[in-house]
Amino acid sequence: MTAYDDQNVFAKILRGEIPCTRVYEDKYVLAFEDTNPQAPVHVLIIPKGEYVSMTDFTELATDAEIVALNRAILNVADIKGLKGSGYRILANSGADSHQEVPHLHVHVFGGRVLGPLLSE
Ligand code: AMP
């Protein structure tokens, strides 16, 4: 397991050290707009706990944290009007996935027909 680096950009967002455009928040998660959107809707959902990736989240998070992250997907889809049209969720995890920020984040994409899953 990779050690958690509390200087990563999403840790700074959680501490309020840098701004974000908040979409949804509860006790366990924060959802905010991606600053480099890849679709008309592109939201990131992060747990408030210190988890590097989906690997250690699913190994170590409490049931309440895991449920909250999943329910947040539904809440974001609802807030963004995607429940009818559909959406894609994606969580890069580790080096091969090209995960750039070492704090677990779930991407929520929508607002257009998204096409095939992988580009390469
Ligand atoms: P990944 O490649 O899965 O690690 O995705 C990282 C995502 O974080 C990218 O889509 C970036 O555009 C996004 N990102 C990086 N910094 C910020 C920030 N300060 N606020 C919002 N999104 C960010």
The separation between the first and the last C-alpha atoms of the chain, rounded to the nearest angstrom, is 27
How many angstroms does the Cα of residue 91 sit away from the middle of ligand 1?
A: 12
pLDDT in tens, 46-78: 999 999 999 999 999 999 999 999 999 999 999
Q: Could you tell me the distance, in angstroms and rounded to a whole number, from the CA of residue 35 to the centre of ligand 1? A: 7
> Which residues are the active-site residues?
105
Q: Which CATH superfamily is domain 9-110 in?
A: HIT-like (3.30.428.10)
Question: What residue owns the CA closest to ligand 1's atom 5?
Answer: 100
How confident is the model over 84-114, as pLDDT tens digits?
999 999 999 998 999 999 999 999 999 999 9
Residue 59 CA to ligand 1 centre (angstroms): 23
Determine the 3-state secondary structure of 14 from DSSP.
helix
pLDDT of 1 reads: 67
The pocket around ligand 1, CB under 6 angstroms, is made up of 9, 18, 20, 34-36, 44, 92, 98-101
CA 27 to chain centre: 15
What is the position in ligand 1's atom list of the atom closest to the CA of 44?
A: 22
What's the whole-model pTM score?
0.97
Q: How far is CA 36 from the centre of its chain?
A: 14
String of DSSP letters for 44-98 = EEEESS--SSHHHHHHHS-HHHHHHHHHHHHHHHHHTT-TTT-EEEE---SGGGT
